[in-house]
Structure 1
Amino acid sequence: MVHSLRQLDILKLARAAGWVEVEDLAQRFEVSAQTIRRDLGELADQGLLDRVHGGAVLVAGVSNLGYEARRVMHESAKDRIGRSCASMIPDNSSLILNIGTTTEAVARALLEHRNLTVVTNNMNVANTLIDNESCEVIVAGGIVRRSDGGLVGDLTSEFLANFKVDFAVVGCSALEMDGDVLDFDLAEVRVSRTILRQARTRLLVTDLSKLTRTAPVRMGSLADMDAVVTEAPLPAELQDRCAGWGTQCVTEAVHNGETDAG
């Protein structure tokens, strides 16, 4: 139950834009940032919004959040995941990075690597890695999604099928406790499946908030992955399943700066 007309207006703004920011709302409603944070907290407690640093985003359902909203969600976790994943990829490697804000964090963490060949259907990844002069960047063809710079479609899959790389790094929109890896867009999932087939080592990068979300299209299972990289340990039940499948669980140990693998 929405407790005030202001909260109702906040919810309408979030539904229109996909996300809201504390400072903007405080100015719009001429109240303190603390008041807005309390409003957002109450809306989040009702399951109507998800809190992120500096604001809130819509709770995902059968459609994905907008790119800008996803980009700011769990930024710190994604940065840690990016560093952990990058530490698993040696210099002089070839890899494919797919669409997603977490794979973009991996790209940022690869800027100091040497002699990489990176194939991607993510324009944001390409624009990031172009700053690494020792990195060869190959961009897939296909239909460009203006919403997030992703390339999808049959042409994209056909292009990626020309490669056999050392690593595939893929993200997802949701993760089930049975290990199913989910996304929203069937066209994107088809491309991701091609990416996984064309790699010797398959890495899933995902923050643990994906365990609280749902999406309608199944990309595959953690059983299909060689490793899953997260910012904190997976629930024990899911870790046990990964052990049975032979899927490595990789988590950055935030407190000591090392990476734990189990």
Structure 2
Amino acid sequence: MLGKNRKSEILHIAQIEGTIRVEDLARRFGVAEQTIRRDLAQLSDTGQLERVHGGAVVSSGAGNLDYVQRRNRNTEGKARIGRECAGSIPNGATVFINIGTTTEAVAHELLTHKDLLVVTNSLNTANILAANPDIEIVVAGGSLRRTDGGLLGNLTTQVVDLFKFDHSIISCAGIDADLDLLDFDFQEVRATKSIIRQSKSTFVVADSSKMLRSAPGRIGNLADTDILFTDATLPDGMMQKARALGTSINVVQP
């Protein structure tokens, strides 16, 4: 495969999987690891990827991916996260689920639960849970974000503030090296801050594509939450910092 075509394919893989590794790409394309490193360096120089130890991630400078791209990225990893997180939610709980394709994966796994009260600012999540008559659903209304069915604004936070949640299940656009939870939409940042404040415990669901990814809005820090559910070992340094903070890290392997 020509270098130009290979770099285009590498970028496509990164957009689907989020995080790519030099070793895996070299095996996939049948080339030397040094060749892949050169490809990644060139893609990094053009701002399309960001280098991390052992590989690269999609550049955060381009903004967030659209909903369909995010939904189709790493579906197996998100499904594992969804099953594990849902298993930590007892029947009879009051739960908030925020906007995101990984939180939607959790919603799918809650369809066998009973006597839940779920508040959500995601129309997609509400529609998923509507299939279970044993779940009472409250939609935290607000201004509709048509790109992904999210509801945001003053009305959303007003509804959130009416409740005390046993558990909240939140996602975000990225988690940086300082373990800050980040997002691109400042209204979503505001809503998620309120969700965490109103929750007895907060579960973060974030697949490997979110690690070491930047965004301008700061929700808070992983220290403000209780458990991070993810699908791969955290990059160097992040695991040690998380343990020092006292946040539990649940890596859901295949």
Short-chain TM bin: 0.7 to 0.9
Q: In 1, distance between residues paired with 2:59 and 2:73?
A: 12
**Residue 58 (structure 1) shift:** 7.1
Change (3 A) 1:155 1:253: same
The two structures, once aligned, show a CA RMSD in angstroms of 2.8
Q: For residue 62 of structure 1, report the CA deviation from its aligned partner.
A: 5.2
Unaligned stretches of 5+ in structure 1? 21-36, 51-56, 255-262
- Greater relative CO, 1 or 2 (CA 8 Å, sep 6+): 2
Contact 1:58 1:65 in 2 (8 A): no
Rounded Cα–Cα distance in structure 2 between residues aligned with 1:154 and 1:63: 24
How far did residue 244 of structure 1 move?
Answer: 2.2
Partner-residue secondary structure (3-state), 1:232:
coil
Taking the aligned partners of 2:67 and 2:86, their CA distance within structure 1 comes to 23
TM-score (norm 1): 0.76
SS at match of 1:76: helix
Aligned partners of 1:84 and 1:251 also within 8 Å: no
Aligned to 1:75: 75
Equivalence map 1:173-184=2 (5 Å): 173-184=173-184
Alignment map for 1:121-132 (pairs within 5 Å): 121-132=121-132
How does 1:1-262 map onto structure 2 within 5 Å?
A: 45=40, 46-47=43-44, 48=48, 59-61=59-61, 63-235=63-235, 237-254=237-254
Using the alignment, how far apart are the partners of 2:243 and 2:60 within structure 1?
30
1:33 corresponding residue in structure 2: none
- Unaligned stretches of 5+ residues in structure 2: 17-27, 30-35, 51-56
Name the SS of the counterpart of 1:61 in structure 2. Answer: helix
Amino acid paired to 2:213: R
What is the SS of the residue equivalent to 1:118? strand
Percent identity of the aligned residues? Answer: 41
Secondary structure (helix, strand or coil) at the match of 1:167 reads strand
CA contact (8 A) 1:62 1:216 kept: no
Residue matched to 1:259: none
> What corresponds to 1:31 in structure 2?
none
**CA contact 1:112–1:132 (8 Å) conserved in 2:** yes
Corresponding residue SS for 2:96: strand
Q: Name the CA distance, whole Å, in 2 between partners of 1:146 and 1:195.
A: 21
Q: Secondary structure of the residue that 1:136 maps to in structure 2?
A: strand
